[in-house]
Amino acid sequence: MRAATTHRVILGIGGGIAAYKICEVASSLAKIGVDVVPVMTAGAQEFVTPLSLATLCRHPAYTDRDFWAATHSRPLHIDLGESADLLVIAPLTANTLGKLAHGLADNLLTNTVLASTCPVLLVPAMNTDMWQQHSVQRNWQQLLADPRYHAIAPGAGRLACDRVGQGRLAEPQEILAVIDSLLLTRGQRDLAGKHLLISAGSTQEYLDPVRFIGNPSTGKMGVALAQAAAHRGAAVTLVHGPMAVEHRQALTGVQQIAVTTAAEMQQALVAQLPQADWIIMAAAVADVRPRDRAPQKLPKAALPDQLPLAPVPDIAAHLASLKKDHQRLIGFAAQTGEIESPARQKLQRKGLDAIVANPIDRANSGFGSDSNQAILLGRSGQRHEVPACAKRHLAHQIYDFVNALGDR
C-alpha cells in the first residue's frame, strides 16, 4: 500500500532504441519517492529488460504476459489505470500513437490508458521520415486536441539510423521537469491563451571589456518560472542576462532574448510588453553602472581609486507606467534580514500588482540555489508564505497566487 502523499506514475515504455533513456527517468523518479510502475510493450522488451526496469523502479515491471495471466483479483489494467496520478509513454512509437488516436487497445499499455482518467504525457521518438508522415502527424494533432494529453515533441539531431533530423526523444531532465509540473498541477492548463513575459538572471554593467558590476544571479528562478508557465499552457518569452548553456537548453518552446546590460533588458522588455498578459520581473538588475566605459582594457595602474557611478533604469517602475489595465506586473525583492517590510514598500512604490519577497541570506535559498522560499504579497493585502522548496515548485505557487488575485 502506497502512502497517501506518494504520487504514482505509470511509466509506459514503447519499442525503440530510445527506451534506454527511460532508465534514467525511472531511476530519478524512484529516488525522490515517486511510486513508479513500469508497463512495457513487447517491442520495449527487445531493447530494455523487465528486470532492469523493475530494479530501477523498485517495482515489478508489467508486460503483456501479466495482462493475460489470471493472477490478479481485479483486471490489471483497471487497477493500474485507477491508481495512476500520471501516465507517461516514452518512447511513444508510431504504432502506439495510432492506437491511442483511434481509441484502440490490444495490449496492457493501451488498455491502461483507456482505463485511466489521469493526465497522459506523450514523448515520441522515431525516424524523421516516420515522424513526418501525414498519417502520423494527423494522429499526433488529434491527440494534442484532447486536453487530457500533454506532450514533449521530439527534438532534432543525429538519430540511431544515422539520419540527422527531427525524431530524437527528449532528454531525461526535460521529461522529469514536465512530470514534476504535471504532478503538481494535475495537468491543468490554466495559463493557456496567456502570454507571459519573464526576466531572469543578472545584468552586467561594464567598466571596460573585462570588468563589470554585477551580482551572483544565475537565472535559475527565471528558468523555473518559464518552465512552469509553459507546462501550464502559456506562451512564454524570457528576457535573460548572461546564463549558463544548460539553463538555456532547458527551455524548449520558450522564446529567449539574451541581453547583457540593464538598458538592453529594458529595451527588450518594453518591445515585448504589448503582447504580454503577465510580466514577471525575476531578474536581478544592477542598481548602478560605471559612469564611463573604456573601449579597451584599463591597465591596473589606471583603475580609479573611486569609481564614478551612474544609476541604471528602474525597469519595473517603467513597465508599470506603460502597462495596460488587463496586464499584471509581478516583481521580486531579494532581501537579507527582515524581508517583508521592504518588499511591501517596493510593491507600492513601483506600482506592482504583486511581489515575491525571497531571502538571499538563508541556506538553500536565493542566488544559485536549486531551492527557494518566499513571501508572496498582493497589492490589496493578499499574503501567502511559501516554505523552502524547489524553485519550480515556488514558480507554480506564484502562478496559483496571481491567479487567485482575479482579473483586473
Q: Is 220 annotated as a binding residue?
A: no
Which residues are CB-neighbours of 385 under 8 A, at least 6 positions away? 374, 375, 376
Q: Is 353 annotated as a binding residue?
A: no
161 is catalytic: yes
Residue 332 labeled ligand binder? yes
Question: 324: annotated binding-site residue?
Answer: no
| 31 among annotated binding-site residues | no
Amino acid at 372: N
SS (H, E, C) the chain: CCCCCCCEEEEEECCCHHHHHHHHHHHHHHHCCCEEEEEECCCHHHCCCHHHHHHHHCCCCECHHHHHCCCCCCCHHHHHHHHCCEEEEEEECHHHHHHHHCCCCCCHHHHHHHCCCCCEEEEECCCHHHHHCHHHHHHHHHHHCCCCEEECCCEEEECCCCCEEEEECCCHHHHHHHHHHHHHHCCCCCCCCCEEEEEECECCEEEECCEEECCCCCCHHHHHHHHHHHHCCCEEEEEECCCCHHHHHCCCCCEEEECCCHHHHHHHHHHHHHHCCEEEECCECCCEEECCCCCCCCCHHHCCCCCCEEECCCHHHHHHHHCCCCCEEEEEEEECCCCHHHHHHHHHHCCCCEEEEEECCCCCCCCCCCEEEEEEEECCCCEEEEEEEEHHHHHHHHHHHHHHCCCC
Active-site entry in 23, 57, 161, 389? 161
> Which amino acids are annotated as binding site, given as ranges?
287, 297, 332, 346, 350
The residues that are catalytic are 161
> Which amino acids are annotated as binding site for CTP, given as ranges?
287, 297, 332, 346, 350
